[in-house]
Amino acid sequence: MKQLLLVCHTPSTNTQSMASQLLAGAQAEADGQGQVLSLEPGQCTAQDIMAADAVVILTTENLGYMAGTTKDLFDRIFYDLETQTEGLSYALIVRAGLDGTGCTKAVESICGGLNWRPVRPRLLCKGDWKPAFSKQCYELGQLMMSSLIMGII
């Protein structure tokens, strides 16, 4: 059974809504053929990532960079995974107050160092809160799980 891991930094009601919809979208597509595990970055371990067939990272942009808890995750797992997860499919969601550039570059650089494969360009949820952000997360959850089940990723 395919496993999708969602690593979601959710410090606000809005990011909690985004993570909830990401999970709901993935679960809607699982149909007994996939499992979804959702963790905060501080709960996630290298073993969780090694057990996953694909990962979605949801992080806020903090001071033009990724959230500290997301950075902490990468600091804790990088060397354990450096040669263990090559080719792992991932997607990135950035909840940004600015333009998301620094955050995106930092996460993509680390994922590139791990030789992970981006499934699609990052989903940027920028500026004032829009309900469409949650809908986009739901659709990304669907896309990731259905792609896993069909063997596309």
| CA atoms of 109 and 51, how far apart (whole Å) | 22
* Number of separate domains in the chain: 1
Can you name the residues that pair with 125 across neighbouring β-strands? 95
Which one is predicted more confidently, 110 or 98? 110
142's CB contacts (< 8 A; 6+ apart) are: 25, 26, 28, 29
- The CATH number given to whatever domain includes residue 126 is 3.40.50.360
Residues 32-41 have pLDDT tens digits of 999 999 999 9
CB atoms within 10 A of CB 147: 19
Q: What is the pLDDT of residues 132-149, one digit of tens each?
A: 999 999 999 999 999 999
At 107-123, the pLDDT tens digits run 999 999 999 999 999 99
Q: Rounded CA gap, 16 and 98, in Å?
A: 19
Strands (E), the chain: 2-8, 34-39, 54-62, 65-66, 89-96, 117-118, 123-126
* DSSP string of 48-64, one letter each residue: HHHT-SEEEEEEEEETT
Q: Residue 135 has which token pair?
A: 């809908």
Provide the whole-model pTM.
0.97
In terms of Cα–Cα distance, which of 3, 67, 79, 63 is closest to 40? Answer: 67
pLDDT digits (tens, 9 = 90+) for 77-89: 999 999 999 999 9
Identity at 12, one-letter amino acid code: S
Which residues span the domain enclosing 40?
Answer: 2-150
